[in-house]
Amino acid sequence: MDLRDQWNRLLPHAQPLGDDLLARYAEQHRHYHDQQHLTEVLTTVDELAEYADDADTVRLAAWFHDAIYDPQADPGENEEVSAQLAELELAAYGVAADRVAEIGRLVRLTAKHDCAEDDRNGAVLCDADLRILSLPKTRYDEYAAGIRQEYEHVAERDFARGRMAFLQALSETRLYATPRGHEEWERPARENLTREVEALGPRAARPIGGLIPVIYFGAALGAVVASSVLLGRGLGAAAKWPADPSEVSGFPVWAPIAGTAVAAALACAWFRRTQRRLVTIPAIAFAAAGLIAIGVCWWRWPAAQPGAAMSERWPYLLIASAALVLAGALLALALRLRLAPAYAQAPPRWLGVGATAVCGALLAWVVVSAGEPFVQARLETANTVSTTTTIQPTQQPVQLDGTLAWSREVPATGAITGTAGGVAELRADGVVMSDAATGQIRWRYSRADVQDAASSGSRGLVVSADGQVVAAHLPRSQYREPAGISLPTYAVLDAVSGKVLTEVDSDGTALAVDSDQLLVAEGNFVVSHGVSSPTHWQAQVRCTVTQGALVGDQAVVVDACAGNGAVVRGLDLKTGAQKWEVNLGARIDLSAELDPSTWVGELVSVPDTREVSGLIWTGAAGGTLYQWSVDTSTGNLLWTSPVPGTPRPRLGSSSCDAQLAATHASLVLITCRTGNDSGQPQTYDVSASSPADGTPQWHHLLQVPPKLQHPEYPRDGFGLLPDGRVVTLMPQTDGSCSPVLIGSNGIQARPIVAGSTTQPVAKSETVTCDKPAVTVAASRPIFSDGTRLFALN
């Protein structure tokens, strides 16, 4: 049956209208939307008639769906004017109004082919109009060629872009709405579409162009998984430190599982090319949820509080939120590129899935790995209180007359040490620097995540030879440290201004520091951490490193093993390469069963020379402490000398750690003798010798009462004045506690007398000797009795 007979069967009384429609479909500018297309549409409607509510109404809509066709019209305009023509003409020929309205609706529906699921008439007409997509290759190619002829007014490049965008939009949705159309025509239609897209795309871009959206899509899935992992880390952390163990829930495994499940669902939707909104909606949801979460984190961000450090919860939640925003942006970009003609060609399924998996895993690893330094930086910033000053330390003449210059009550302190900036106090949470002349606090550095820094004692503060730099030991909190986060254990500070020069994470022991490097012993490794420069090196030696000093361009270290092994080494400061070594075991019988940390003593450098001097103990002949000196410019052992009185290293409650200090003219040694019963006064040796050859200069015995007898007392309780005299704080026979000067003139007690000062001055009898600590800053003796810090002229 030809087209005219089919029309007459539908509307026998409207033959003129049928002739007019046939004439329209025979217009010269039509190369595809012609009578053949109309015939194919009508034939398909007949095949799908069982799925329509009113097959004849659908047939009439098919006659009118391309009645007016102008290739230069705007999108949807042809369908609109065709629908208006149908409504006008059919009403004139007496077709029922409700049927005319349905026909107009169906014609307009062919503009986008987006019929509702329950629209049976619309499904049949849309499937019939798109049937051409599933026809054999020859007919499809004729269709494609006809479309190009109809758009011959469009440049080749522009046509290719527009055509590819149209085909890509079609392929993103279900093509056929009826069951038969979907089952029988969907696959050949997609094959035809893919083939045409390949033909339209630039040949050079074909192998890789379609991978670009896939790469962005894989990155988006990686960001989703990374966000879920970071979310889990944040939710598993306590709100703050210190925290009760019950407050730490542990890592919630459901978070990464949920993130991976969402990523897998998105991958299925992407590669099955289901409806676009299944990807668009998550992209919007991710971006919106991430932005809201960032706002919440910013609003709830906890402020630093003394004794309550911020944990890793909020930094992890913040970066998880940012990763979610990134996922939404990448997902939207991937979808947008997929619709662009240049990237519309889909790669082979195996290649797309592989690229998605690789890119997703890579970005997830990068984001999670980047989260750790981000969290570490946020924790360091949030938990650190650091003040600085530009005011130089007060310079006042010191009369050394015993006058009390200033006194100030302080919290229980650890070590105190003199620097170019004043007297540094090691407190539980950091360092406080006070002016040596006035006692006023100049700057402070504290960390809320450090709980007991003062427990490090005198080894907790390391000062450079010129006093300009101080390194403070900040031991790790006893509370849980976040996995992957390395909080600093040493802060290197400018002693004058309080500026943080660097922060170092190390489990080792700081040996020495200057403005260029921090020298740390980590077992049998010596590590140099750059301070003012990025220089960093690590050198391995044979035994455990116990002592070290910086002398000129060398790091001088002592490593010792149990038994007869102790070596002094000079290491190049730039590379860590060994320049020389001196085997002390070859000169001194070191046979001992002690831990090397107890029989290798202090190491000091003599100011303005290339000489270092140290202590070492041997069990030979009942036990002897030796003092030695090495010239670092040549690596030669200058001299060794036994210390009289057989002092011993730390062995039991009556022993002590010897202190060795140096001035330009003297090496001063403070140590204790053994053999006294507990509860009795102990004899301490305080002596001075020449740095050049070890010749004794003076030597005194000091009786130390039982309450001061502890291993750290020689190190903490004595200070060396610039003139070579030693000062300490001792109880007197009258019950008072007074400074004592020890030098070439003997042992002299100097009772504290009130001085002229604007600060409140405590009476001398209120000073106790329960826990004395002594240092010298700006040539001024500074004392601490555990509750008060005070200075003498």
Confidence check: pLDDT of 482 > 70:
no
Per-domain residue ranges for the chain?
3-200, 208-382
Q: Report which of 658, 626, 628, 743 is spatially closest to residue 458, judged by C-alpha positions.
A: 658
Q: Is the pTM of this model over 0.75?
A: no
Q: Could you give the CA distance from residue 602 to residue 587 in angstroms, rounded to a whole number?
A: 19
Confidence check: pLDDT of 665 > 80:
yes
Contacts of 238 (CB under 8 A, 6+ apart): 244, 247, 248, 311, 313, 480
The mean per-residue pLDDT over the stretch 333-346 comes to 74
How far CA 748 is from CA of 683, 725, 732, in Å, comes to: 16, 11, 11
Question: Please, which pLDDT band fits residue 758 given cuts at 50, 70 and 90?
Answer: very low
The mean per-residue pLDDT over the stretch 319-342 comes to 86
3-state secondary structure at position 390: coil
Where would I find the H helices in 713-773?
A: 713-716
Mean pLDDT of the chain: 84
Among 270-284, 631-645, 689-703, 752-766, whose mean pLDDT is lowest?
752-766
Q: Could you give the CA distance from residue 771 to residue 264 in angstroms, rounded to a whole number?
A: 66
* Cα four-point dihedral sign 443, 447, 451, 453: negative
Cα radius of gyration (the chain): 44
Q: Could you give the CA distance from residue 218 to residue 235 in angstroms, rounded to a whole number?
A: 26
β-bridge partners, 432: 425, 444
Q: Looking at per-residue confidence, does 584 or 365 come out higher?
A: 365
pLDDT, position 474: 86
Q: Report which of 117, 216, 107 is spatially closest to residue 173, judged by C-alpha positions.
A: 117
Q: Could you give the CA distance from residue 192 to residue 186 in angstroms, rounded to a whole number?
A: 10
Q: Could you give the CA distance from residue 58 to residue 126 in angstroms, rounded to a whole number?
A: 10
How far CA 554 is from CA of 63, 462, 518, 600, 636, in Å, comes to: 97, 18, 13, 20, 15
Q: Report which of 297, 331, 301, 317 is spatially closest to residue 371, judged by C-alpha positions.
A: 317
The mean per-residue pLDDT over the stretch 783-790 comes to 81
The pairing of beta strand 753-754 with beta strand 403-409:
parallel
- Classify 43 in phi/psi space as left (phi over 0), alpha (psi -120 to 50) or beta: alpha
3-state secondary structure at position 419: strand
Q: Look up the CATH architecture of domain 3-200.
A: Orthogonal Bundle (1.10)
The mean per-residue pLDDT over the stretch 40-66 comes to 91
Tens of pLDDT, residue by residue over 505-560, are 888 899 999 999 999 999 889 999 999 777 789 999 988 898 999 998 899 999 88
Say if residues 253 and 356 touch (Cβ distance below 8 Å).
Answer: no
Confidence check: pLDDT of 208 > 90:
no
Q: Report which of 325, 354, 330, 210 is spatially closest to residue 279, judged by C-alpha positions.
A: 330
Confidence check: pLDDT of 411 > 80:
no
Contacts of 208 (CB under 8 A, 6+ apart): none
Q: Could you give the CA distance from residue 468 to residue 531 in angstroms, rounded to a whole number?
A: 13
pLDDT, position 731: 81
DSSP 747: E
The mean per-residue pLDDT over the stretch 397-424 comes to 81
Tens of pLDDT, residue by residue over 118-167, are 899 999 999 999 999 999 998 988 988 898 898 888 888 778 778 877 87
pLDDT, position 533: 75
- CB-count exposure of residue 29 (10 Å: 0-12, 13-18, 19+): middle
Instruction: Please give the structure tokens belonging to residue 271.
Output: 């590669």
Q: Could you give the CA distance from residue 299 to residue 296 in angstroms, rounded to a whole number?
A: 5
